Amino acid sequence: MNIPNNSSSLLILIVSNDVGKQTNEVDRLSESGVRNEVEAVKTACRTLGILTEELIIADPHASWKSIEDSGADVVFNLCEGVDGDSGFEMHFAAMLEMIGIPFTGANPLTLGMARNKPLAKQLFHVRNLSVPAGVRLKTVPADLPEGLAFPLICKPACEDASLGIFHDAVVRDEKAMREKVSLLLEKYPRDGVLLEEYIDGREFNVAVLSDGKTVRALEPSEIDFSCLPENCDRITGYEAKWMEENELYKATPSRCPADISQELKIRLQDAALSAYHALEANSYGRVDFRVDRNDRIFVLEYNPNPDISFDAGYAKALAASRLTYAEFVRMVVSEALANHTTRRKP
C-alpha cells in the first residue's frame, strides 16, 4: 500500500524516547541525538504534505493510551528504549503491534536479535557470512578463552550506538583483557561482555532499505581512519561516533560513496542483504563490516533503526544513492502501511 495521493489526509505520530533519568552524562549524548531524527522526519513530512504530531515516551504504560487516542494512521517509531534501557526497544515495537497500528522501522523480533550480538553472529554464520571469532562472558576469565588470540576487542554483548566501546576497547594481553572485561561487567552485568577478535583493516557500513516489495543495499560508506594518531586503534568507538569536540570524532569522517572497486562494492552489498535477511529484517537498517588486508569481509553487526538524522551516515548513503530524504520517508511509511494487518477494534 502506498501513501495516498491526498497525503494531507494522513496523520503520522512521530514517537521517540525521553532521555533516561538514570542515564549518565556521557551516554546521554546518544540518547538525546534522537531529537535530530525527529526534526528530520518532521521536515520530510512537511515536504510530502503529511500532517504530524509528536509523542515523547517517558512512561510506556501511559503511552499506550496516548497512541490509541491519537487518531494517527501510522507511528514513525524512533523509540530506542525506555528510561535508558535499550532492552525495551523491542518491547515498545511489540506494544505497537498489539495496539494494532502501522509503524515504521524494524519488527520486534529483529530488534531483539540484532541487539544480542552473540546471537546475531551465530545467525550470520549460518548464512555463510564471516564473523570475527568471539565469546560471550558473564565473569572475568582467568586465562585467554580457547580459540582466541590477541589483539581482541571488548564490548557490551547487548548494546547499540557504540555504548561501552571507547578508544581503549582493544586489548593485547591478559592483564588488560581482565581489567577491561571487569569494568564492562560492572556496568553491563545482565547481558555480559563480548570478547571478540579485532580485525585490523578497513571499516565499512552499508545502508539497507525496503519499500515493502523489494530490498536494496545502498552505496557503501567507509570510515576514514587516515587522520587517526598512530597510537590509536582503528575503531569507531563512542567518542568517534558521538563526542563532536573529541579529536577522535574529528579524525574519523565517513566517506560515501566509498572509494572502492566495483567488485568489493558488490560483495559488501550482497553481504549486507544476507545479514538483513538472516535477522528477518524489514524497513531500513545498516550493516557494519570490517575488511582485512586480504580483502576478506567480516560482518560486525546489524543496526535496525539506525540514526537517520540529516547529518548521519544513513542520510549520506541516501544522497549517494540518489534518493531524497523525503523519498526515504515515503518509502518507509508506505512499507509500514503495506505490512500492516487489520487494526484491532475496541
Q: pLDDT tens, 53-79?
A: 999 988 877 888 999 999 999 999 999
pLDDT of 2 higher than 70: no
User: 311: burial class by Cβ within 10 Å (0-12, 13-18, 19+)?
Assistant: exposed
Residue 161 pLDDT: 78
User: 120: burial class by Cβ within 10 Å (0-12, 13-18, 19+)?
Assistant: buried
Residue 344 pLDDT: 39
Question: What are the boundaries of each domain within the chain?
Answer: 7-104, 113-130+200-325, 134-197
Domain 134-197 CATH (choose: 3.30.1490, 3.40.50, 3.10.50, 3.30.960): 3.30.1490
- Chain mean pLDDT for the chain: 91
Q: Mean per-residue pLDDT for 190-195?
A: 96
Q: Mean per-residue pLDDT for 200-214?
A: 95
Specify the DSSP class assigned to residue 21: T
Q: Mean per-residue pLDDT for 300-318?
A: 96
| Residue percentage of the chain with pLDDT more than 90 | 77
CATH dotted code for 113-130+200-325: 3.30.470.20
- Please check whether the domain covering 7-104 is classified as CATH 3.40.50.2300: no
Residue 332 pLDDT: 97
Residue 82 pLDDT: 81
pLDDT tier at 231 (50, 70, 90 boundaries)?
confident
Q: Which residue has the higher pLDDT, 29 or 11?
A: 11
pLDDT of 299 higher than 80: yes
* Stretch among 12-26, 82-96, 186-200, 323-337 having the lowest mean pLDDT: 12-26
Peptide bond connecting 189 to the previous residue in cis, omega within 30 degrees of 0? no
Residue 146 pLDDT: 95
Q: Mean per-residue pLDDT for 153-175?
A: 93
196 backbone φψ class: left, alpha, beta (φ>0; ψ -120 to 50):
beta
Residue 58 pLDDT: 83
pTM of the full structure: 0.93
* Stretch among 17-21, 118-122, 233-237 having the lowest mean pLDDT: 17-21
Of 287, 292, 290, 255, nearest in space to 271 by CA? 287
